[in-house]
Amino acid sequence: MKYVSNNQIEISSLIKRQSKSFALGTLLLPLTFSNFAIANPPEHSAAFAKGQILVQPQPGLSEQNFQKILGKHKASSKGKLNQLRTHIINVPANAEQAIVKALSNNPNIEFAEVDLLVKPSEIIANDTYYNNAWHLNKMQLPTAWETAKGNGIVVAILDTGVNSNHTDLSANMVAGWNSVSRNNETSDIYGHGTKVAGVVAAISDNNNGVTSIAWHASIMPIRITNQSNGYAYWSDVANGLTWAADNGADIANISYSVTTSSSVTNAAQYMRNKGGLVVASAGNGGADLNCTDNPSIITVSATDSADNKTSWSDYGNCVDVSAPGSGIWTTTKSGGYSAVSGTSFASPATAATLALIKSANLNLSNDELENILEASADKSKNGGVFNSYYGHGRVDAAAAVAMVVNTPTIDQQAPTVAITSPTENSVQTGSFNITANAQDNMAVSSVSLYANGVLIGTDTVAPYSANFNSNNIADGSVAFTAQAYDATGNQGNSSTYWLTIDNIADVADTIAPSVSITNLVNGSSISGNQAIKVSATDNTAVTKIELYIDGQLKTQTTESTLSYSWNTRKVANGYHTIVTKAFDAAGNQNQTSIQVNVQARKKGRK
């Protein structure tokens, strides 16, 4: 479970993490800006939607139990993000962060986060124009174009919209969507999206305007904001991403800080599972993001003409590659051209390169595409090894396309998977989470968890888990198994993992044993060696019988019967008391007593 606090977010870029899927749903209620108040955020604020948060329950958690958890915080679900299990949750005003923190500590909640408002990752260059598009030669694109130009690849631009009437864009446009208004209004409300689109697929080699990277790729405009300043909510980004995945996008570019969003990561994994890849910008704060790798999103830092990381580019262990992002010539909303800077433009340069790689071999899997992008990157600045400034290196389009000449070997290696918690052979009650670890030579797509062969949940994000309600199964030993899948469809199976379910409370034993002396009755006259026989019974089991004569313990046994020979010649004539006691495992006891008359045996005549 991940908790994203406001002071962990840099609003100067975009987003990243990973997705989960069990019972995928649809958005039940539209998300509009009229539902909450928005302040115009300053450059590095952590503004978020007021009165709502984003929450995803563990796979397998019932709707009833989920609503019960929300009810404790006076919260309720407005519906789900498009095609995801992530709910938009109404919460009391000014309680957003407190409820996120509380839900993040609930084991039945996969993640909770505020619906952060993020801004485009753009830096306006000091110089108005640059003499040439230096980045094209730096990435060796003239060589790459001899093999691939992006034909047949659709790149979704999740941004402020695109000016589809721009003379250098119009012929490459396809239908898009507005994830805020939930319609096809995709005109550029701010100007950022048209610049991003031009880097990817402006019409090229036409004696006009600028030269893009993927000349013949198609641009799918996904407008994720209706605000004139270009700021967008994570929820609108996630909804736009799933729409793009469902409508044929091969690559998606998000030039915003989204890498740390669980909701956007879920949407990115949804797209990845449908055969697409998501690229995002690292951000422009010049800071270490203190992040870890996000397998669902390719995060990009920015470099300059000398291949150095720009001073303003964010960096960290979540950065996968770097790309030119300073002084990049592209299209503008007004119909013209300008040079722009920011990780906002390093990101589409990478997305466009992926379009070239994919167009060179349409049979490549997502994992193969990403591996080629990273393996072919120029590593001269990072000493040949991964580092937080450049990731796997600066994108090299010619080297990447060259690696695609031969069709790669089909992945036939199955993932490995093992259940890790709760502790094996432990006793469990009520509702609890089953967790598994899985690994693959490429990447794990999903893990399904089973109880006695019945599916309880499917997860697409590590650690892979599902919620199991043991109240729906009989007490006793339950066999849990996991199945892991990769993008090729290879399946790996775990060994059986046993847990003991014990929901029915043990009933306290309050019934005492019954015990009797079977061969004597009260008042019997005895003499000589007298046998005493005792028998006891119990509703569970007799654990001990004791025999007393005149208050002295004579013998005992752990069996349910007892026999004792009493030499009455050694005691005085008259009445004596015999007591026998029986015990069970619960400590219950019972006793019976009789009196017998000892009489001396008369001597016969000689």
Q: Is 238 within 8 Å of 81 (Cβ atoms)?
A: yes
Q: Is 276 within 8 Å of 245 (Cβ atoms)?
A: yes
What is the distance between the alpha carbons of residues 323 and 348, in angstroms, rounded to a whole number?
Answer: 9
* 304 counts as catalytic: no
Which of these is catalytic: 73, 115, 159, 262? 159
Closest CA to 481 of 503, 508, 457, 511: 457
Q: Which residues contact 413 (CB under 8 A, 6 or more apart)?
A: 440, 441, 442, 486, 490
Residue whose tokens read 């069996």? 559
CA 280, distance to chain mean position in Å, is 20
Which of these is catalytic: 192, 314, 538, 560? 192
Q: Is 335 within 8 Å of 356 (Cβ atoms)?
A: no
Structure tokens belonging to residue 368: 């193969």
- Extended strands (E) in 74-162: 76-80, 87-90, 109-118, 154-159
* Segments in 180-260 forming alpha helices (H): 192-201, 234-246
* 192 counts as catalytic: yes
The continuous run of DSSP H or E covering 399 comes out as helix 397-402
Phi, psi dihedrals of residue 103, rounded to the nearest 5°: -65, -30
Which of these is catalytic: 13, 313, 344, 494? 344
Residue whose tokens read 């967790």? 435
* 431 counts as catalytic: no
Half-sphere exposure of 169 (CA within 13 A, CB side): 31
Catalytic (active-site) positions: 159, 192, 344
